[in-house]
Structure 1
Amino acid sequence: MTTRTSILLVEDDAEINQLITQYLEKHDMDVVAVSNSDAMDTALSSRAFDLLLLDLNLPGEDGFSICRRVRAQQTLPIIIVTAKGEDVDKILGLEMGADDYVVKPFNSRELLARIRAVLRRAETRNRVGAGLPRQTYHFAGWRIELLSREVVSPKGIKVAMTGAEFDLLHALCENPNRILTRDQLINLTHGPTSGPFERSVDVLISRLRQKLEKDPKNPVIILTVRSEGYMFAASVTRS
């Protein structure tokens, strides 16, 4: 018997709560709906979930804070579902570690498609971490552990990465010495989408350079190719 996908929904609007719950349950997903961070923490401590759907405008702790906190504690996929549609909010949500961002009002079929896309990417990461070969990358003295999602510097120091930063670094390591456009990087990390996600690539590249490069203003690992995109210029080996 196939195990149903388990969704934790954090949404304080009762009508939207019911709408999302009923639609996803019709598509073979189990939904636990709560309205604030305290109830979310209780639910997370009591069972495992496959994905978190998170509103931003919540009573008490806001969604950005929740996203950052959950991402620091675990790799649970997170999709923000909110009425905040400004580009700056979308980019901030991705920087906090969200895997995707859906703006209200939304089409239920689009939400379902985005959930499935995020779950597919998470499944791929889990398969890699379950013991398949090539789960460690090495470049310029750095080590990337896919199983634990750890990034270790040449000095042996673990460098903290958000989920979005790690996924982008993973995509770059998979495609060394190849020019990748912003659209290609979006497809490799967030799936086919547009708008602020393109700008978020530039933000994430800048953040990776701050963490990986000796001189972020004159990078030698992640190069900008004018009018084309970016290239990961390091020699990458796998073990």
Structure 2
Amino acid sequence: MSDSAPEKPNILAVDDDESIRELLKATLTRQGFRVFLADGGKAMDAVLADTRIDLIVLDSMMPGEDGLAICERLSQNNGPPIIMLSARGDDVARIKGLNLGAEDYMAKPFNSDELGLRIRKVLRRTPGSVRDEADITRFFGWSLDNRTRRLTSPADKMLILSAAEFAVLHVFLAQRDRPLRRDQVVERMSEMHDDSTDRSLDTLISRLRRKLKHIAPEGEDDVIQTVYGVGYMFRPVR
């Protein structure tokens, strides 16, 4: 019922040096990561607003908001884990980066294969990362992180579901392509969400439909269909 292909971790490389960005993209892509690029804090924020990022490789010395300030800001706001890169390899710089919230620190020039190994090591110890394969439900290009309620579309856009939205989506995933009466949906939802009522179900499904439509690939039909005289049916596009 779920896809067997492993999900590639999304890595964001933030460096003001274009040659370093392109090097990171080429070498990390070769090692099985999906790589996004940003030349500074503003571009990084734009990527984070639209894309689920599992880890950031961050240059510590950049014009404007430098990497150390970015690291501190992201750490204070529960951002993705960070590996710092810096031309300064001394212990003082390394300890400062780690104290500000970085998970690891590498000096430039760095060994690309070693960086890939360090990224995987950080991901393995990060709760809710793509390492938790048993906690991720996949269906026709979509993926749902069951720990964080994070839903990612085939267009690689993501959002966080509310507890009620997560519960109703789980009901549909367990009964896909089968019409369900409204009372059946509510009954199954109640196992995961205490405030499930028949009266609020239509509003909840309408809200979930809007969210799915917002991040779905352009032109994709609603995956939650109304079956008149019965209730609802979940039918993802194949």
Match of 1:60 among 51, 58, 64: 64
Structure 2: segments with no counterpart, 5+ residues? 136-146, 149-238
- Asked if 1:37 is matched to 2:49, the reply is no
Cα drift, residue 71 of structure 1: 0.5
Matched, 1:11 2:11: no
Equivalent residue number for residue 92 of structure 1: 96
Give the deviation of 1:21 after TM superposition. Answer: 0.6
Q: Name the SS of the counterpart of 2:29 in structure 1.
A: helix
Q: Segments of 4+ in structure 1 off by > 6 A?
A: 124-128
Alignment partner for residue 49 of structure 1, among 50, 53, 59? 53
Separation in 2, partners of 1:32, 1:125? 17
Partner of 1:110: 114
CA distance in 1 between counterparts of 2:79 and 2:49 reads 15
- What is the aligned partner in structure 2 of residue 191 from structure 1? none
Over the aligned positions, Cα root-mean-square deviation in angstroms equals 2.4
In 1, are the aligned partners of 2:124 and 2:131 still within 8 Å (CA)? no
SS at match of 2:125: helix
Determine if the alignment matches structure 1 residue 79 to structure 2 residue 83. yes
The aligned amino acid for 1:96 is: L
1:46 Cα offset (Å): 1.1
Encode CA deviations 1:42-63: one digit per residue, 9 max, x unaligned.
1111111010100011121011
What's the offset of the Cα at 1:125? 8.5
What is the deviation of 1:75?
4.4
Shift of 1:13: 1.0
Q: Distance in 1 between matches of 2:40 and 2:63?
A: 6
Long gaps (5+) in structure 1: 132-146, 149-239
Encode CA deviations 1:191-236: one digit per residue, 9 max, x unaligned.
xxxxxxxxxxxxxxxxxxxxxxxxxxxxxxxxxxxxxxxxxxxxxx
Identical residues among aligned pairs (%): 42
The residue type paired with residue 27 of structure 2 is: Y
